Chains A and B, each alone.
Chain A
Amino acid sequence: MIEVKDLHFSYPTGLEALKGINLTVEDGEFLAVMGQNGAGKTTLVKHFNGLLKPTTGEVLVNGTSTQDISVAKLARKVGFVFQNPDHQLFSESVEDEIAFALKNFGFEEETIKKQVDWALNLLDIEQYRKTSPFMLSGGERKRVALASILAWDPQVIVMDEPTIGQDHQQKEKLQQFIIQLNAQKKTVIVVTHDVEFVAECNPQVILMSQGKILVGGKAEDVLTNPKLVAQASIVPPQITQIFLRLADLGLPTNIIDVHEATKILLEHLRRRK
C-alpha cells in the first residue's frame, strides 16, 4: 500500500510542483494519473520509489516512510518505467538490459535466465534478444524498458506514459497485460494522457492540475464530468463526447465503453418502437 500524506514538493529552483497531495493506493489497485502538462504527475509518482523525497509531508510504502529506506531497496518493491526509454536503457543487447537489474539484485544465474526469457516473451521482443536496444524503434525500446522492470517482479509497477509510441495492437496487449498483473494482486500506476486507453481499462483515476488533485474515482465517473475534465486539460473519451451530445434524449452521459454505448442505443430504439 502507498500512502501519501499532505505531500508538498519544491524543486531546488523554487518551483512548487506539489501542493498538498493526499492519496492512498491500495495493493492490487490500478490507478491512472492524468492531467495537464506540468501538473506534477511525474513528480508525484517519482515519490513512490523514493527518486524524490517530500519537502514536507510523507510518503509511506507498506507503512515505511520513503525517507527511511534506500532507493535501491525501494526499487525491489516499486519498479519505475520512465517516460523516455532512453533515460533507462544502456546495455549492448536487449537480453543484457533485462538481466542487468536481476544481476544487481543478486539473483541466481538460472533464475535470471528464466526471468529474462519470461519478460522477453511477455513483451513480445523475443526476436530482439541479441539486438542493441538503440537499433529498435521508439515503441520497441519502450517495451524493452518495461520488460527490464517486470523481470524482477516488483509488487508495484509505475509506468510513465506507457502508450506513447505504441501502436493499437500493442496498446491492447498492454491493457491485457495490466489486467493480468492486477489479477496477480500487483499494483499498477500509470501516468498517461491517453484518454481512450484509460476508457478501455476503466481503472481508478486521479485528475491533477497545478500541483493538486482535482478529483479521484472510477474512470467512468471522472472522465465523464466535462467541467473537471476541462480543468485538467483532458478531453472526454469519444464515446462520452457522443453521449454528451445526446443528453437531451434522456440517455445517460456517464458512458465510456463502446459496447455499453451500443447496448444503450439499441435499448433506446426498442423502447421507442
Chain B
Amino acid sequence: MAVIETKNLTYTYPGATKPSIQNVSITINKGDFVILTGPSGCGKTTLCRTFNGLVPHFYNGTLEGEITVAGLKVADHKIHELARHVGLVFQNPENQLFALSVEKDVAFGLENSAMPRDEMRKRVDWALQMAGISELSERPPHELSGGQQQRVAIASVLSMQPDIMVLDEPTSFLDPVGAEKIFKVINDLNKKLGITIILVEHRLDLAAKYANKVIVMNEGAVALTGTPREIFTSEKARLIGVGIPKATKLYQHLKRQGVTLKTVPVTTEETANLLLEMLKND
C-alpha cells in the first residue's frame, strides 16, 4: 500500500528562477526503508519538505503536480495534520531544538496533542531510551554535543510515533559506533513497529544493509530507483556520483581483473563470506 505517492511533482521556491524538484513521480509503500540520495543540491531536502507540507505551506512558492501522504492530498491539508503522520528529523539538530531541557523538547509534540500526563511520561521515557539518552533528560539541549543533539532530535520525533519518519542525515555528527546504534534504532522502528523510513544519506556504506529501496536524485529529478544491489552496480549511479560502498567496490575491482564473485555484495559481511567461500573452494 502506498503511503507516499507523487505524480509529476514540481516545486519552485519563491524568487527562484528554476524549480528545485522537477516532475518527480515516486511511490513509497508502507513499511519501506528507503534511502534517498544524490549530489548535494539535487533536491532531496526539498522533496522531503513536501512530505509533511512544509513545502508549499511554510515556504510558499509554486507546487505543481500531485502528492498524497497517508491518503491526504498535501495541497489540501495543513502542516499540523500531516505532521501527525510524518515526523521529520532535520539535518542540523540545532534548527529543531528549542526547549530548556531535553525531556521538555521530547515532550513538546505530545503536549500539543493533549496526551494524558502518565502516558506522556511513558512515551518520553521510551523515546529517550530508544535514542540512548535517558541520562541527558534534564540537560539543556544547547549545551550538548552535536551528536547528543542529533539523538534528542530523533527522540522528539520518535515520541510522536509517526507512521512515516523522514531523517535527513541523522547520524552525520555521530561517531561511527554511535551512528550504528542510531541506524539499528531506526531499523527496529521499521522492522518491529512497521514505521516507513525515508533516510536522506550520502554514506551508503552505513545504511545500505537496512534499506529495501534506493532513490537517486540528480538536478531536481529522480534519476534511478532500485534495490541497493541494483543501484550499486549501476553505471548510471556511478556517473551521477553515488558513493558506492567499498564492500561492493572491491567486488567490482576484482571483476575487472577477471575474478567474479558469485553475487554482488552490498555489505562487508557479504563480501567477506563470498571471498572466504571462493578461497576455500579454490
Contact = CB atoms under 8 A, between A and B. Distances in A.
Interface of A: 35-38, 83-84, 86, 136-140, 161, 164-171, 193-196, 199, 230, 232-235, 237-239, 241-242, 245-246, 249, 258-259, 261-262, 265-266, 268-269, 272-273
Given A242-B275, A261-B250, A166 B40 contact: yes
Contacts of B180: 235
A259 B252 CA distance: 11
Nearest to A273: B282
A83 to B, nearest CB: 6
Main SS of the interface on chain A? helix
B174 to A, nearest CB: 6
Contact of B146 (A84, A234, A261, A266): A84
A249 B275 CA distance: 11
13 contacts: A36-B175, A37-B148, A165-B91, A168-B202, A193-B176, A199-B246, A233-B175, A233-B176, A233-B177, A234-B176, A245-B268, A246-B276, A273-B282
Given A233-B175, A242-B271, A38 B147 contact: yes
Given A83-B146, A166-B40, A265 B259 contact: yes
Nearest to A265: B254
Interface residues of B, number: 46
A168 B242 CA distance: 6
Nearest to B40: A139
Interface in B260-282: 268-269, 271-273, 275-276, 279, 282
A37 B45 contact: no
A163 B282 CA distance: 41
A167 B275 contact: no
Contact of B91 (A138, A168, A241, A262): A138
Interface string B38-61: 111100010000000000000000
A86 B93 CA distance: 12
A249 B146 contact: no
A63 B34 CA distance: 53
Contacts of B269: 245
B216 to A, nearest CB: 11
B66 interface: no
Contacts of A86: 92, 94
A268 B279 CA distance: 9
Given A83-B146, A258-B253, A269-B259, 10 more contacts: A37-B178, A84-B146, A161-B146, A165-B40, A193-B174, A196-B203, A242-B268, A245-B275, A249-B279, A269-B282
A165 B172 contact: yes
A238 B205 contact: yes
Contact of A262 (B148, B205, B250): B250
Q: Top 5 closest A-B pairs, CB basis?
A: A168-B243, A139-B40, A37-B147, A245-B272, A169-B241
A83 B169 CA distance: 15
Q: Among the interface residues A167, A195, A196, A273, which one has the most CB atoms of the partner chain B within 10 A?
A: A167
B276 A258 contact: no
A109 B173 CA distance: 38
Interface string B161-186: 00000000100111111111000000
Nearest to B171: A193
Given A233-B176, A261-B250, A262-B257, A38 B39 contact: no
A161 B173 contact: yes
A242 B272 contact: yes
A232 B178 CA distance: 11
Contacts of B268: 238, 241-242, 245
Interface string B126-166: 00000000000000000001111000000000000000000
A170 B40 contact: yes
Contacts of B91: 138, 165
B70 to A, nearest CB: 27
Contacts of A196: 203, 205, 246
A13 B192 CA distance: 41
Contact of B241 (A167, A249, A262, A273): A167
Nearest to A169: B241
B259 A266 contact: yes
B249 interface: yes
Contacts of B169: 164-165
A193 B253 contact: no
A262 B175 contact: no
A235 B203 CA distance: 14
Contacts of A262: 250, 253-254, 257
A272 B131 CA distance: 48
B177 A234 contact: yes
Contact of A241 (B38, B272, B279): B272
A144 B259 CA distance: 44
A245 B276 contact: yes
B154 to A, nearest CB: 14
Q: Among the interface residues B169, B172, B245, which one has the most CB atoms of the partner chain A within 10 A?
A: B172
B247 interface: yes
